[in-house]
Amino acid sequence: MKKHIPNFITSLNLLCGCLAILFVVSGDLVIASLLVIIGLFFDFFDGLAARLLRVQSEIGKQLDSLADMVSFGVVPGLVMFQLLNKAIVPQALETGFKNAEIINGLEAGMSFIPFIGMLIIIASAYRLAKFNVDSRQTDSFIGLPTPANTLLIISLPLIFQFQYTPFIESIIFNQWFLIGVTIISSFLLNAEIPLFALKFKTWDVASNKIRYAFLAICILAIILLKFIAIPFIIILYILMSLIWKK
C-alpha cells in the first residue's frame, strides 16, 4: 500500500497543474499561480515520501516528470502568453486578471508576440526529457529546474496583484521585459550550469550547509519583500550554486 503514497502525491501535483491551466485560460492568473505553488509542495513531498518509504520506482519517476511538464512547463508558458497578450492589449489591464475574454485579445492586434511565451513550454519539455536520461543529475541539477523557473514566471502576476505600484506595472507589462524573461529563462533551463538540489538525504547541518543557508535566506526575504523576493531568490540560487561548486 505504501508504494502508492508517493504516486498519489504526484497525482495531486498533476491535478493542481490541470486546474491551473483552466484558470490561466479563463484569465485568472492569480488563482492559477497559487495552484502552482500548492503543486510545488506536492512535487517536493512526493520525492521525500518515496525516499523515506524506500519505494522509489521507475513509474514514479516517469509520473513525476509528466506531472512536472503540466504544472511547471505548460502552465508557465501559458501564463507568459497571457502576460504578453495583456502587454500588447493595454485595455485588458482594466479588468485585472479575471477577464474571461482576454485570451481572445489577439483579435485586437493579431500579433504573434504572445506566442513567444510558448518557448517556455518547449524549453521545459526538453529540460525534463534531458533530466530523465542524464546520469549527472542524480544529486544536483544541470540547468535551472522547471519548478524554479515556474516560480519566476508566476511571481509576476502575484507581484502585480498584491504589491502594485505604477512602476511595477510599467515593468511587468513591458513586452520587451517579458520577451527578455522568456528567452533568458528558456536558456537557463537547458544551460550547462551546475545547481544544487534541495533534496535532503540526511538532516545534519554539515552536509547540508548550502541548503539550510539558502532556505533561511529565502524565508527572510519572503517575510520582508513578499512576492518581490521570488525573482531575487532565483538569482541567488544560481549565484550560490556557482560559488558552492567552486
pLDDT band at 53 (very low <50, low <70, confident <90, very high): confident
Q: How far apart are CA 142 and CA 26, in angstroms?
A: 34
88-131 tens-digit pLDDT: 876 555 555 555 445 454 544 557 899 999 999 999 999 999 98
How far does Cα 223 stand from its chain's mean position?
A: 20
Burial of 186 (0-12, 13-18, 19+ CB in 10 A): buried
What are the structural domains, with CATH classification, of the chain?
A: 2-194 (1.20.120.1760)
How far does Cα 226 stand from its chain's mean position?
A: 17
The residue type of 190 is N
The pLDDT score that the predictor gives to residue 59 is 84
Q: How far apart are CA 38 and CA 114, in angstroms?
A: 26
pLDDT band at 44 (very low <50, low <70, confident <90, very high): confident
The residue type of 18 is C
Q: Which helix (H) or strand (E) holds 195?
A: strand 194-196
Q: How far apart are CA 193 and CA 235, in angstroms?
A: 13
Q: How far apart are CA 233 and CA 222, in angstroms?
A: 9
Query: Residue 239: pLDDT above 70?
Result: yes
| pTM as predicted | 0.89
Residue appearing with cell numbers 499561480: 33
Q: How far apart are CA 118 and CA 120, in angstroms?
A: 5
pLDDT averaged over every residue in the chain: 87
* 3-state secondary structure (DSSP) of residue 162: helix
Phi-psi region of 99 (alpha: psi -120 to 50; beta: other; left: phi over 0): beta
- Stretch 12-16: mean pLDDT: 96
DSSP class of residue 88?
H
- Stretch 45-53: mean pLDDT: 76
The grid coordinates of residue 240 equal 550560490
Residue appearing with cell numbers 525573482: 231
Residue appearing with cell numbers 526538453: 126
179-226 tens-digit pLDDT: 999 999 999 999 999 998 877 666 676 777 888 899 999 999 999 999
The percent of residues above 70 in pLDDT, for the chain, comes to: 88
